[in-house]
Amino acid sequence: MILPALFFYLFAAACVASAVMVIVSRNPVHSVLYLILAFVNASGLFILMGAEFLGMMLIVVYVGAVAVLFLFVIMMLDVDFVELREGFIQYLPIGIVIGGIFMFELLLVVGAWVINPQVAKTITAAIPANVSNTEALGLVLYTKYIHYFQMAGLVLLVAMIGAIVLTLRHKAKVKRQDINVQNARTPEIAMVLRKVASGQGLQDADAAEWVK
């Protein structure tokens, strides 16, 4: 039991220290790098607890997608963080209200668990003992909670479409494709036959016709 305890304290200390550095660092690129380090250490903690699926998701989803996306956005875009911090006091009351709501929900969850420790076991289903952690989660997620899983996917789809619609900007000088106009074209509209004299280019023929 000494070796798992040592790894637990190592991962926990590194996770807390990197989380503090995410907030303290003035350079946003360094903050994202510390955030990646925090995710990696949290993944190690989940593996020590036997939740290898959550540890894998932290690496694949958060480190491999979200944190790397943040890093590329910060490095590629010229974001003026000084200007963003100027409106911090203006939105502070809204942030306090939202933070209070989240804190109230966390207290409800923790309070219910303290009052009745068996409440977490009331919603669990019987899982065979000869399956792995990931397989057991898949059996529950894609059978009993399949409708909730599909609803979550629809919510994410709506959020993605809404983000595209809100950020889409049509430029006046950009030519765009119109399928109806393309399908309505005929050979008479699409092609023009021009007779050009020998030794004369198309532009010269246009100029000569313009003079006539």
Asked if residue 73 lies in contact with residue 61, where contact means CB atoms within 8 angstroms, the answer is no
- Quote the CA–CA distance of 163 and 165 in Å, as a whole number: 6
Per-residue pLDDT for 210 more than 60? no
Per-residue pLDDT for 168 more than 60? yes
Whole-angstrom CA distances from 70 to 62, 74, 75, 77, 193 are 10, 6, 9, 11, 55
Whole-angstrom CA distances from 174 to 13, 163, 166, 170, 171 are 54, 22, 19, 8, 6
- Quote the CA–CA distance of 77 and 94 in Å, as a whole number: 27
- Quote the CA–CA distance of 52 and 130 in Å, as a whole number: 16
Whether this prediction's pTM lies above 0.75 is answered by no
Percentage of the chain exceeding pLDDT 90: 9
Per-residue pLDDT for 131 more than 70? yes
